[in-house]
Amino acid sequence: MEIKYSANSQVRLDIFLSSYLHISRSQILNLIKHQLITINGNVAKKAGVIIKENDIIKVDTLALDDNLSYSVDFDIEIIYEDDDILVINKPPYIATHGAPSLKESSIVDWLKANNKQLSNISGEKREGIVHRLDKQTSGAMVIAKNNVSHSLLSLQLQNKTMGRFYIAVIDAPLKSDMLIECNLSRNIKNRLKISKSAVGRYSKSRFYKLLLSKDSKTELILAKLYTGRTHQIRAHLESINRHILGDSLYGYKGKDMRVMLHSYFLYLEHPKNGKISFFANIFDDMKSYLENNFDMEMISEILSNLSFSNLINDI
């Protein structure tokens, strides 16, 4: 399909095509990812590129006919939503935002496909994203729906009034509750990894023992982040020769599964309503593992009795 833009005003490519073709901006983004849109003979690389009068836009018609190929084929549980923030329970196996190497849809794609109002401080590919979770990590995430909320939440990340507690299953029990502080930087031998180093960015995590598995070989733990470095929990555990089940990148050598890490509890100060907190339900794959290998009644009792208000202040 060839379209000649004839208006005098300038407009973003995704906004124009979404209106012209009556499809979502998420679908436009997917067409761009697959190099199926050109402007004046050049492949469009960004959804936010500005088009102007007399520009010739070509869209792959066959791709348009196959709408299912470019739709978001998953749904996400909304924990809380108002005019300022959205809190979701992120499923595993979904990236937070797009990247050049990413072919499948991301959390941002889902947000756009569902017409969520989003902040745009972080740029087009990261609209609404204040903090991220690794692709295989599940759990609570907060999304900013406007720039004021985004700025306030970002400040909270810096001054520690917003934070997360994670639950994870590790391949060997901790000797005791522990605090880990170290510098982290990109691993010299494997650029996909983050490792403890003499230089780099300061990081701090606290780990709490929760419950041993039935065979006492693995353990459910709680992790509190004081800083938000990439792969921080995974790198800190590797530094003490512990590994999250499924985390082969950081040294887990057991059964093939997704990384058993879940953002369980999120706390923050709402831009208008003060302190607020959220729990994120554990997903079926992790729940199934826990049911088969742990005493679920004990887990439920331990989690329900945790005093997060005290743990937040545990420095």
Q: How confident is the model at residue 67 (pLDDT cuts 50, 70, 90)?
A: very low
Alpha carbon of 26 to those of 43, 115, 116, 237: distances in Å? Answer: 18, 9, 11, 37
Range with lowest mean pLDDT among 6-10, 257-261, 306-310: 6-10
pTM over cut 0.85: no
Contact 57, 45 (CB under 8 A): no
Q: How confident is the model at residue 70 (pLDDT cuts 50, 70, 90)?
A: very low
Q: How confident is the model at residue 69 (pLDDT cuts 50, 70, 90)?
A: very low
pLDDT of residue 13: 93
What is the arithmetic mean of pLDDT over 269-274? 95
What is the arithmetic mean of pLDDT over 88-94? 96
Contact 153, 268 (CB under 8 A): yes
Average pLDDT, the chain: 91
Question: pLDDT > 70: what percent of the chain?
Answer: 95
**Choice between 23 and 128, residue whose per-residue pLDDT is larger:** 128
Enzyme catalytic residues: 134
Collapsing DSSP states into helix, strand and coil, what is residue 288? helix
Question: pLDDT > 90: what percent of the chain?
Answer: 74
User: Residue 222 pairs with which residues in a beta bridge?
Assistant: 167, 208
pLDDT of residue 63: 59
**Choice between 2 and 238, residue whose per-residue pLDDT is larger:** 238
pLDDT over 70 (residue 191): yes
pLDDT of 217-259, one tens digit each?
A: 999 999 999 999 999 999 999 999 999 999 999 999 998 899 9
pLDDT of 282-294, one tens digit each?
A: 999 999 999 999 9
pLDDT of residue 68: 38
Q: How confident is the model at residue 72 (pLDDT cuts 50, 70, 90)?
A: confident
> How far apart are the C-alpha atoms of 138 and 286, rounded to whole Å?
10
pLDDT of 100-147, one tens digit each?
A: 666 688 999 899 888 899 999 988 778 999 999 999 999 999 999 999
What is the arithmetic mean of pLDDT over 81-91? 97
All structural domains of the chain, each given as residue ranges with its CATH number in brackets, are 2-70 (3.10.290.10), 77-315 (3.30.2350.10)
Q: Give the number of other Cβ atoms within 10 Å of residue 230's Cβ.
A: 14
> How far apart are the C-alpha atoms of 202 and 294, rounded to whole Å?
34
